[in-house]
Amino acid sequence: GDDAAKLFSIMMIIGGIAPVVAPLIGGALLGPVGWRGIFWVLAVAGAVMVAGVVLLVPETLPPERRHGGGLKALISNLQYVVRNRHYLGYALAFVFGFGALFAYISASPFVVQNVLGLSPSQFSIVFAVNATGMVTAAMITTRLLGRVGARTLLRFGVCLLLIGGAVLFCTSVVFSSTNTWLILVPLFVAISSIGFIMGNATALAQGEVTNAAGTGSALMGAGQFGLAALVSPLVGIAGEDTAVPMAIAIPTFGVLAAVALVLLTRGKAAAS
């Protein structure tokens, strides 16, 4: 419920800070250790993560709810998960929201530097500002949950994504504008909306399939990164000197998220 949404939103805050801090750390390390040394740093970080999981993350599932796994159990859990249309609605909103985010991540270096003509350092500032917007939205979510339901906040986030994406589409595609502010402001709105979408959609989807939460989570993870793998080449299909593919992809994913939410969770929303 709302408690889970708060925790997932906190994870969003951490996830939003990481892309801002990581390039700064990487840049600071590049001189002393070289590009090969970066991979050693990643290896050490991976080892620390493994140690943290082994030593600090105990199994929380009660023994009576555990099972031995296997292909038969996997197929059964998948059937249970995909037959729940409310889960699918929230999961698809999550996946399409991440698709919009990854379209931005993949295309923004070229759009900001090649199309808008900003320098690499200015791009770093733009990236940091957008990440801050996403983190701020996730922080607002944690403050509002309890007074405002996760479903309402999720719908608000999808509406923001639609608004930001629609304005971006109009400025970049319809009017072919390369005005910095006409591109960056709606892009900020669209990316900030992800802070309202990801944590709430995750909690709501997981709440629908509590008997197979692991399978539900795995399906969402596979969906988000499967879509990301498709988005990355698509937003670069027209070359490095146009914002059009990104300006089409972001509102398209906003529309798909809204349609999934409206059509598949309609009965759930009415019941609430």
Alpha carbon 32 to chain centroid distance? 33
Mean pLDDT per block of 10 residues along the chain (272 residues) reads: 82 74 80 92 96 92 79 88 94 95 92 92 88 90 90 96 97 93 96 93 91 90 93 89 94 96 76 47
Domain ranges of the chain: 2-58+68-271
> In this predicted structure, what is the pLDDT of residue 240?
87
So what's the architecture of 2-58+68-271 in CATH? Answer: Up-down Bundle (1.20)
C-alpha gyration radius of the chain: 20
User: If you ran DSSP here, which 8-state letter would residue 96 be given?
Assistant: H
pLDDT at 269: 53
pLDDT of residue 268: 64
Q: Are 96 and 261 in contact (CB under 8 A)?
A: no
CA separation, residue 214 to residues 10, 37, 51, 221, 225 (Å): 20, 36, 21, 10, 17
**Which residue, among 219, 204, 250, has the nearest Cα to 105 in the 3D structure?**
250
CB atoms within 10 A of CB 5: 27
Q: What is the pLDDT of residues 48-99, one digit of tens each?
A: 999 999 999 988 888 887 777 788 888 988 999 999 999 999 999 999 999 9
Q: Is 118 helix (H, G, I), strand (E, B) or coil?
A: coil
The residues with which 239 forms a beta bridge, in sequence order, are none
Largest CA distance in the chain: 61
How confident is the model at residue 170, as a pLDDT? 96
DSSP per-residue letters across 32-43? HHHHHHHHHHHH
| Residue-level length of the chain | 272
